[in-house]
Chains A and B, each alone.
Chain A
Amino acid sequence: MPTVTLTIDGQQVTVPKGTTVLEAAWKAGSFVPTFCHDPELTKPGACRICVVEIKGARNLPASCVTAAAEGMIVETASPAVIDARKTILELMLDNHPEDCLTCHQAGDCKLQDYAYFYNVKPGAFGGECKNYEIEDDNLFIVRNMNKCILCGKCLRACEEKQGRAVIDFAYRGFRTKVATALDKPLADSVCVSCGTCVSVCPTGALTEKAMLGSARKWEVQKVRTTCPFCGVGCNFDLNVKGGKVIGVTSNAAAPANGRDLCVKGRFGTDYVHSPKRLTKPLIKKNGEFVESTWDEALDLVASKFGEIKTKFGSDSIAALSSARCTNEDNYVMQKFMRAVIGTNNVDHCART
């Protein structure tokens, strides 16, 4: 593979031809912030937070859309660069609600992180601030367009990852906004509530409704697991706080799906805490289910199976194993039927 060698912050780095300056800088260990860039999406080079100084270039190019070239000399944190980034952040903050204290995204928000890092405070320019109504009339996603920084990742993800293009930029200038066709609420659009837009949003503009107010980002323990709903086998992180599953966030490392999920995987796992869960063994007595201890229930089942096996033979007992349970559950089930009951009468709904 052809390569190029360039110097970034005084350090030489060799990268494959076609690599962007941004990727090369990251490889060299330099910090470069990004908003609109996403490794899995097309690159509009729109937000310009990733600007760097390249020797010989007339202005500060956006590193995410500039190809690394042989012999380039790049500064990622020169005074001019820092200045430009601060100005961008100041403009954003001036048009952003000052409610980080109660924002669900706090602790996992790029705007907050960069403002902190560059010590930028709101109020530098003053002027008009967006004032949209918060859209929370669907069951899954809350949209607060006042917090939107117009990076466009949501609409690119919707189109490029989900193949849908439900949302796009609408209006112009200061009024530019991410909206559905005719600026209707998501609930009245062709949105399928997959939440892929939520997973790429760098700010608190898009959030999972069920998780709002349930935990600060830093209190959440993430447990990577596999979706219990369909055979695609998406992976995601169960978000846990205080021994309770509070929701799901996606995990870019998931092999079949990356950060993309469907409405079931992203928003459906709350069934785990349904009040209708069975929590005690139940034994039917005179037609009614009565709670029992594990010992009582297990002994009853063991003795009943034993009795029937002795009286009618092993083949008078059968099991339906489960396409919803784990491999290990299924293995022990078929072993139980074959080795303990003594029959091959074991099957499952392989066919639905």
Chain B
Amino acid sequence: MTNSFEDYLNTDLFFVIGSNPTEAHPMAGAKIMSSVMSGKSKLIVADPRRIELAEKADIWLQLRPGTDIPLLNGLMHIIIKEGLHDQKFIEERTEGFEALKATVEKYTPARVSEMTGVPENLLYDAARLYATTAKAMLCYTLGITEHICGVDNVMSTANIAMLTGHLGKEGCGVNPQRGQNNVQGACDMGALPNVYSGYQAVVNPDIQAKFEKAWGVKLDNKLGLTIPDMMDAAVEGKLKAMFVLGEDPVLTDPDANHIKKALTKMDFVVAQEIFMSETAKYADVILPGASFAEKDGTFSSSERRVQRVRKAIEPIGDSRPDWWIICELAKRMGYDKMNYESPRQIWDEMASLSPIFAGINYDRIEHTGLQWPCPTVEHPGTPVLHTQSFSRGKGLFKAIEHTPPAEMPDEEYPYLLSTGRILYHYNITTRYSSALDAHRPEEAAMIHPADAATLGVCTGEKVRVTSRRGSVVTKVNVTDKVMSGMIWMSFHYKETPTNELTVNAFDPVSKTGEYKVAAVQLEKVV
């Protein structure tokens, strides 16, 4: 996020696109809801589903799934045509405006309305409102990123924010709310194939030398494999072993059957988990980790805030903190530079090697945490990014054309499947909470009344959902919150493993799977 959650209270307009915060990021959602309810701010929602925020919105743009780029280009077309763009910001802070202008020129309201299904008058209303509100904040999540054109979608949100000067200021910005509790932190710590902690490139020889010196070993300077590449390499027999820490790709990654094939093919799989996950079942060895309540450490939230996790109870049974287990393995493999006594020591080593975290330590984050970048111990942290300049100096507009989803409904698979989270569950762990699971024990796929009538099903009855990759059975919830021709499912239930259906197609840059669009058939199950 460029801005902070606290800053949600300062904005006069939320533009929420591809995000369902009242379910997936409830406290962010609550801030938006209360601000809108009190009349403080206005709300534009772009979402194929009539999500809760859509019901409260001043303007709801019900776009067809996978048409975010045409929609944003169309809004920018209107903004430029009507001269509502921020000329000063564009001149001082950005480059590439002419190229952007030439591209969005082609996205006329008539054409965009045709592509997205959004009426022209709403396009005008939304473009004008966003451009003319001084403090306007754009929020998005996985509805933007989980497409084969996810990176282009993200760039488009940056384009429209820069075009209107809604960046680097209070109450503005482009704010992706991160899905999992520490997805920000896992990236920050270098659990990525291309960077060490603090986003330091593995291909940079100076960085490599710094880490070689600190860690006392020779390091590899070529990029590692991303998850989809790992799975492909495993299926091809090139990858022999995998160490899986606290993730359940069989349930949460797209095209589950491909993942299962990969796990079966490898010689040796280790799962470090707190529950017998679907993935752990494929392991040769399972190492029981401790839960967040049983260990010290830190998480980094969507707003880049590093906060303490504190040990409240002893590890359950014979489980152990994850860091301890990994360090113990290192020791047994003959490496002697991972003999930490506490997570604090680990943090300090990381911070000493990573400039953006250099000023953060456990003493400083005792009470409220700190938002990185925080280069020195005197630095107050950074609630708003890009106030003076962007990371690369000037913000670069990127002219972007529409990329349709990898797989669209056709005669054989006539329905469009889209997926996401629901309020009462978070990935997997919540299924083990007795109250949460009792409240929402099973999948309830959303389908439109017209489709339900065609299929002859009512709420509570079952359908079989089949894609080119797999087939699952689910109960349905008949509701006009989804458009006709669409089915919406969550991915929380191992009894209804939705990701057996999703497409094995990824954004070429981010390698994010296209969870939001797949073609399926539906038939009633009696």
Contact = CB atoms under 8 A, between A and B. Distances in A.
Interface of A: 139-140, 159-165, 192-194, 209-210, 221, 223-235, 238, 240, 243-245, 253, 255-257, 260-264, 267-274, 276-284, 289, 294, 297-302, 304-306, 308, 312, 314-340, 342-352
B288 A231 contact: no
B88 interface: no
Contacts of B448: none
Given A321-B191, A344-B193, 8 more contacts: A194-B30, A253-B367, A267-B435, A308-B241, A319-B243, A320-B244, A332-B327, A345-B239
A349 B306 contact: no
Nearest to A157: B34
Nearest to B320: A294
Contacts of B289: 278, 325
Contacts of A270: 433-435
Contacts of B252: 349, 352
B72 interface: no
Given A304-B241, A318-B243, A349-B247, A331 B225 contact: no
A350 to B, nearest CB: 6
A234 B302 CA distance: 11
B194 interface: yes
Interface string B54-76: 00000000000000000000000
Query: Max chain A CB contacts within 10 Å: which of B325, B326, B368?
Result: B326
A351 B347 CA distance: 24
Contact of A232 (B5, B308, B323): B5
Nearest to A311: B240
Given A160-B38, A330-B186, A343-B220, A317 B242 contact: yes
Contact of A139 (B179, B301, B430, B435): B435
16 contacts: A163-B35, A226-B308, A230-B25, A256-B5, A262-B30, A276-B276, A277-B288, A279-B317, A279-B318, A283-B286, A330-B185, A331-B347, A334-B191, A344-B202, A349-B252, A350-B192
A229 B181 contact: yes
B506 to A, nearest CB: 9
A226 B181 contact: yes
Given A304-B268, A320-B242, A344-B193, A335 B215 contact: yes
A273 B314 CA distance: 11
Contacts of A244: 313
B381 to A, nearest CB: 11
A257 B302 CA distance: 13
B24 A327 contact: no
B181 A231 contact: yes
Given A281-B288, A312-B240, A350-B187, A327 B367 contact: no
The 9 A-B residue pairs with the shortest CB-CB distance, nearest first, are: A233-B301, A279-B317, A163-B33, A326-B297, A344-B224, A262-B26, A231-B178, A322-B246, A163-B34
A321 B429 contact: no
B181 A346 contact: no
Nearest to B26: A262
A316 B220 contact: no
B86 interface: no
Interface in B409-444: 423-427, 429-436, 438-439
Contacts of B435: 139-140, 209-210, 267-268, 270
A289 B340 CA distance: 30
A345 B239 CA distance: 10
